[in-house]
Every structure is written in C-alpha cells, then in structure tokens.
Amino acid sequence: MTGLLKDSYGRAIRDLRVSLTDRCNFRCFYCLPHGEPPIAPKSQMLSYEEIEYVAEIFVSLGIEKIRLTGGEPLMRRDIETVIRKLSALKPRLHDLALTTNGYFLPGRAHGLKDAGLDRITISLDSLDRNVFKKMTGVDVLERVLEGIEAAKRAGLMPIKVNAVIVRGHNEEEVADFAAFAREQDIRMRFIEFMPLDSGHEWSREMVVSGREIRERISERFPLIPLNAGRGSETSSRYRFADGAPGEIGIIAPVTEPFCGACSRIRLTADGQIRTCLFSTVEHSLRDLVRSGATRQEVINYIESVVLKKEPRHYINDPGFMQPARTMSFIGG
C-alpha cells in the first residue's frame, strides 16, 4: 500500500470510474442524440492489460471502488476479462460495479457475476414504451426490463436503476418509478439533467430539481431520509415510510451540488484521466504508460494529476462552459 490519494482541498480519492468504450447502441437525446463522432482507432483505447496495470496502481493508492461504464460497456467484447482481472484486486478493492443500459443483460448477466462483478446499475428513463423510445432513440423497453430481471436472477444485488428526469419528457413518471422500486425491491436513482449532451440542447428550464422529484414522490409515498450526513455519496437516499421494500436516491448535481465531498476521478476509454465530469482538460495516462514509464513515475503522475482536481463544478456560474466531450466519452 503506497498511500492515500488526496487532492489539494483535502478530499480523499477512493472512487474510480473507468470507461471501457466510447461506443453506444442507444441514442439518448440528453447524451448522444446524433450518434458518435468517428470512433478513435482501437489502438488508442486502453487494452485490458493496460486497464489491469493502471487499476492495480490506483488500488495501491487507495482506490476502493471501481465502476465500469462507457459508452455502453457491454459493447466491449473483452469486458468479462476486464472484470476477472479487476476482481483479482479484491479485497483491497472493496467494490466492483457496472453501469449499463441493460440491453445486453439477458444472456450476459450470469457471466458478469461469474467473472466477479459485485453490483450493477441499469439506466431506465421511462416505463412507457413511447417515452422510452423518444428519450433513448431505440424501441427496446421490454428488453431492458428483461435485463433487470436477468441481473436479479444472476444475484447482482443490490440493483440500482438510474433515470434522468427531464422536463417535458418524463417528470410525470417520477411517482410511477417509485411504485416500480417498491414492487421490484430495487434502488431507484433519479438524476438531474446535466449539461453534458453532445446536442448542446441542455437548458436550465429542462432541469427537474431534486426538490421537485422528492415532492412528486412524497405526495404518493411518504419518504424517510436514510443518509442525512451522506459523506461522499452522490445521492440523498430515502426509504418508504410505510416500510415497503425498495429505496429512493436523488442525485442533484445542478441544484444541490455535492462537490465538497467528491471522492471520484475518471479514466476515459482512451486512457485520459479526468478529475471532474466538467473538466475542460484531460491528462494522458495512456501516453505515459506507453512511453515505458516506471511504476513510480506512473504513481507520481497520478498523484500530481489528482492535485489538480477542481474545487467544484461551475454549472451555476455565468461563464460556465460545457466540456467538449459528452457523458458517453467521459464515462457517466
């Protein structure tokens, strides 16, 4: 154990999000509405051996949680190998999780569990077929619901379901999602729409605030807070007052920023470290590793990059600039 990664504001960095690919089979309007720009050649992407190499170093520096994401991480053919390699870092690595759109889970969920995946988060923006299609660009609601079932059968618990709530699209469904969480005994997470869409259509009017989400749910299902002092957790969590199964989490980075407790850094599929979702600069770990740097040089580099982590995001400041790369490239 080399030590603990700390940024210059004293925040301990324990959580690494690794994007496995920029590619995605969905076209969510709030992320990648017009499809991917030309995909970079495979040679620019980190191989599973490189991911394994740098992940081990990150874990030796105190990273406890790794979440695999993308793009759609299940579009990467060697994902089971990546999971197997990262799983070997336990118990120093406490938690290995995956965020997926769920499309490939029927038929794949058991293999992911067998490879060593602990938990899964599935994105689901609507329970209505037409709204789902309008938001994601694909007509596959039933298949994603099957994916949730497959993840349950595989024991990838606790299952979290993410819904981005966008005004004019799915805000009327918030309480229905809460009912879904109760019926299915899942952890439902509601996320505010962030300015990370490649279409640059984000506007403040489209953001449904965490507060409104809470009120919409509470009208039908009274809630009790679970994590008043929530540490570095992104969501404020609630249980149902009547004791029903399931849980609610609200992630409100726009209206209730939680940067002060941020413990995250990100690694893009092409090996760039990003110290914030909204960073406008990236740091090429890939180039350093490929230049033949020693392990100690890689450690020094990671530590120096972490010291550059931004104090907070600037979404609410007048001069805010949306990052050039969207969520599908940064790794949500």
Residue numbers at the binding site for ligand SAM (CB under 6 A): 24, 30-31, 69-70, 72, 99-101, 123, 162, 164, 191, 193-194, 196-197, 327-328, 332
Exposure letters 47-77 (e unless 16+ CB within 10 A, then b): ebeebbebbbbbbebbbbbbbbbbbbbbbbe
The DSSP symbol for 283 reads E
Cβ 66 vs Cβ 18: under 8 Å: yes
Please name which of 266, 239, 135, 253 lies closest in space to residue 191, comparing C-alpha atoms: 253
Between residues 200 and 220, which has the closer beta carbon with respect to ligand SAM?
Answer: 200
Q: Which residue is nearest to ligand SAM (CB)?
A: 332
Segments in the chain forming alpha helices (H)? 48-60, 79-87, 109-115, 129-136, 141-153, 174-184, 210-220, 285-290, 295-306, 327-330
> In whole angstroms, how close is the CB of 99 to ligand SAM at the nearest point?
4
Between residues 77 and 228, which has the closer beta carbon with respect to ligand SAM?
Answer: 77
Between residues 194 and 265, which has the closer beta carbon with respect to ligand SAM?
Answer: 194
> In whole angstroms, how close is the CB of 197 to ligand SAM at the nearest point?
5
> In whole angstroms, how close is the CB of 189 to ligand SAM at the nearest point?
8
Is 43 exposed, middle or buried (CB count within 10 Å of its CB: 0-12, 13-18, 19+)?
Answer: exposed
> In whole angstroms, how close is the CB of 26 to ligand SAM at the nearest point?
6
> In whole angstroms, how close is the CB of 302 to ligand SAM at the nearest point?
23
Between residues 197 and 310, which has the closer beta carbon with respect to ligand SAM?
Answer: 197
Question: Encoding tokens for residue 138?
Answer: 């694909």
CA 238-15-99 angle, 5° bins: 65
> In whole angstroms, how close is the CB of 227 to ligand SAM at the nearest point?
20
Between residues 301 and 332, which has the closer beta carbon with respect to ligand SAM?
Answer: 332
Between residues 147 and 302, which has the closer beta carbon with respect to ligand SAM?
Answer: 147
